[in-house]
Amino acid sequence: MIKEVEFQDESFEVMRVSATLDGDLPRTYREAMCDSDSEKWCEAIQKELRSMSDMQVWEEHEVLPEQHILGTRWVFTIKHDSEGKAIHHKARIVVQGHRQIKGIEFEETFAPTPTFASLRCLFAIASKLHWEVQTFDVTTAYLHSGLEEFIYVCPPQGLITEQNKVLRLKKALYGLKQAGRCWWQHLREILSNVSFEPNMEDQSTYIYARGNNRALLWIHVDDGVLSASSMNLMNDLKVKLKERLLLKWDVGIHSIVGIEVRRTGNNFYFSQPTLSKKIRQSHPSNIMAEQPLPEINLELGPAVKLDKNYLSKIGVLLYLAQATRPDLMYSVNYLACFSMNTTKAHCSALENLINYLRGTQNNSLKIKANDNWEGLETYVDANWGGEALRSQHGFIGFLWGSPVTWNSKRQTCVASLTCQAEYMALSFAARAGIWLSQTIGVIHKGIVPILISDNKAAIQIASDSGSKKNSRHIQREFHLINELLTKKQVMISWTKSEEQKADIFTKKLGKLKVKRFNEDIFGG
């Protein structure tokens, strides 16, 4: 008889951290059967088992002596619409991949993960060139890819099998260490047959270029978006992809990886209302703050356990900041530094940040091509000394006026002067600029990143026209900006401090400056 295997709770990616802020979901098959929504969970379980059968995921096999058998478990989720209303219940069978034996049950596990920056670039290109855009979902994505290794698992609860039989996997079932890699390799082969080539700067983005026809495809596991230079090309590619994959197309571009997308003409607006609502509901209040961080002292102090979900909330806010809310980036990164030494002041600051989110809940990231902007302009700034006597630098990059990339980071090398901190910030931003120019280079060639700084001394040092005496101690990697300028791979421009759009990524700002930034970045 098959012995029941105990399993460990698996960690969820940052997109799933918000589960702790939701109502309780069933954690086991038994809980689902005893849940008030047991009928809906039963339907979801039966649907998943039918998918396993249709995709020929496994075959029954005799139990052999000393055979290594992996356990399985059910994972239950509820899919919501943009207003937070439950659409349908979903059940998924997951293998206990943490018990796999390397060299026998798996080898390589790497699979690329797409970036939000490349996703925003796709929409910025579509806005500029007036391309067609549609999103799609790959049904049972991992189950399309075959499995080379011999892997045996216990039948999941709810599946009736013959006694003393296990399941030998024929497809890369969820939870296997190599499942993501198998799917990536299978998808890459399929897209290659349709004349898509992977973008080597982001291998989850694929480029179609034949004659005057151009297309971009971005995919994260089973969520994807396709943009094409004409509707005829879009329809042709859809037919070819449908012949090879089980796809569901959304012509209206309603959402992609949890981001709601609204289109008005050639303009796109990104938001995450469902996730934003969850974090706001964790702190019921009518207060609406006008700035992300309060004007209080947030130095280290004796740790106190005031909010057990502090880390979970930081994780949700970080996901928002990376995807659609650049105005949160500095504040979230700063509060995350105190995760192991949380004081009453930090919990109060986190509550203030959530109240700020409540007051700006209607902010939608604006992807709108502007002919008055150069191709790729990146505003760069640094705050010498910073909140903890460590310089903080940040940047935000615009592609034809659309914000596509941003970051905020504490510097690792100590800067003894303001111009040194600004100089290192230029190298930091230059890397992102070069990556972006190479990412979009196949579609739109000849774009040279323009770095915009408000520090003339840093610009002089970077341009080799300034003294290097005060920058000799700076790590060699930060001198990259000199080489890039010499080779004319980037350009540098100066701007007034009051026009520096990257200011919000380096320090706490007053409500008027925050409002000005939001007016530039967000739209209705």
**pLDDT tens per residue across span 58-98:** 999 999 888 999 999 999 999 876 666 788 899 999 999 99
Residues sharing a CB contact under 8 Å with residue 3, sequence separation 6 or more, in sequence order: none
User: Is the Cβ–Cβ distance between 285 and 254 less than 8 Å?
Assistant: no
- Mean pLDDT for the chain overall: 87
pLDDT band with cut points at 50, 70 and 90 for residue 20:
very low
Mean pLDDT value of segment 390-398: 92
Band of residue 475 on the pLDDT scale cut at 50, 70, 90: low
Clarify whether residues 507 and 379 are in a common domain.
yes
Q: Do 433 and 324 fall within a single domain?
A: no
**CA separation for the pair 131, 298 (Å, rounded):** 47
* Domain coverage including residue 280: 273-359
pLDDT digits (tens, 9 = 90+) for 300-335: 666 666 677 888 999 999 999 999 999 999 999 999
Q: Quote the pLDDT of residue 287.
A: 83
> Coil, helix or strand for 205?
strand
Q: Is residue 426 part of a domain?
A: yes
Q: Based on the fold, state whether residues 394 and 301 are members of the same structural domain.
A: no
Per-residue pLDDT, averaged over 177-201, amounts to 96
Residue 321 lies inside a defined structural domain of this protein: yes
CATH number of the domain bearing residue 503: 3.30.420.10
Least-confidence region, from 412-416, 424-428, 446-450, 504-508: 412-416
Do the domain assignments include residue 148?
yes
Band of residue 297 on the pLDDT scale cut at 50, 70, 90: low
Residue 42 and residue 170 in one domain: yes
Mean pLDDT throughout 230-257?
92
pLDDT for 282: 82
pLDDT band at 118 (very low <50, low <70, confident <90, very high): very high
User: Is residue 17 very low, low, confident or very high in pLDDT (cuts 50, 70, 90)?
Assistant: very low
Query: Mapping DSSP to helix (H, G, I), strand (E, B) and coil, where does residue 373 land?
Result: coil
Q: Which of 153, 178, 203 is the last residue of a domain?
A: 178
Distance CA 165, CA 319 (A): 43
Given a cut of 70, whether residue 7 has pLDDT beyond it is no
Return the half-sphere exposure (C-beta side, CA atoms, 13 A cut-off) of residue 167: 23
What residues are paired with 225 via a beta bridge?
Answer: 135, 218
Nearest by Cα to 173 from 200, 153, 197, 196: 153
Q: Which of 39-53, 256-270, 410-424, 469-483 has the lowest average pLDDT? A: 469-483
At residue 176, the pLDDT reads 98
Say whether both 314 and 380 belong to one domain: no
In a domain, 241, yes or no: no
Report the sign of the C-alpha dihedral through residues 120, 124, 125, 127, in that order. Answer: positive
421 lies in some domain: yes
Strand partners, 310: none
- Same-domain pairing of 63 and 157: yes
Q: Is residue 131 part of a domain?
A: no
Task: Tell me if 306 is assigned to some domain.
Answer: yes
Q: Which residue has the tokens 């997109």?
A: 15
* Domain end marker among 178, 202, 223: 178
For residues 344 and 374, state if they share a domain. no
State the pLDDT at residue 477.
60
Q: Is 478 domain-assigned?
A: yes
Are 294 and 375 contained in the same domain?
no
Q: Are 443 and 473 members of one domain?
A: yes
Judge contact between 92 and 10, C-beta under 8 A: no
Question: If we measure between CA atoms, which residue out of 521, 18, 516, 504 comes closest to residue 292?
Answer: 504
Please, which contacts does 256-259 make with residues 24 or more away whose CB atoms are closer than 8 Å?
256/119, 256/135, 256/223, 256/224, 256/225, 257/15, 257/119, 257/220, 257/223, 257/323, 258/15, 258/323, 259/323, 259/324
Contact 29, 157 (CB under 8 A): yes
pLDDT, residue 97, reads 96
Most confident of 157-171, 329-343, 381-395: 157-171
* Percent of the chain surpassing pLDDT 90: 64
For residue 424, pLDDT beyond 90: no
**This prediction's pTM:** 0.88
Quote the CA–CA distance of 522 and 102 in Å, as a whole number. 48
Q: What is the pLDDT of residue 66?
A: 85
> 123: pLDDT confidence band, cut at 50, 70 and 90?
very high
| pLDDT computed for residue 337 by the predictor | 86
Same structural domain, 352 and 394: no
Domain total in the chain: 3
Q: What pLDDT, on a 0 to 100 scale, did the predictor assign at position 397?
A: 96
Both 350 and 411 in one domain: the answer is no
Query: Does residue 165 share a domain with residue 21?
Result: yes
Per-residue pLDDT, averaged over 396-418, amounts to 89
Q: Give the domain-ending residue among 359, 390, 423.
A: 359
DSSP assignment letter at 510: -
pLDDT of residue 303: 63
Q: How far is CA 269 from the centre of its chain?
A: 17
Share of the chain above pLDDT 70, in %: 89
* Model confidence at 6: pLDDT above 90: no
Can you give the pLDDT at residue 16?
40
* pLDDT value of residue 360: 93
Q: Is the pLDDT of residue 204 over 50?
A: yes
Which band of pLDDT confidence, cut at 50, 70 and 90, is reported for residue 15?
Answer: very low
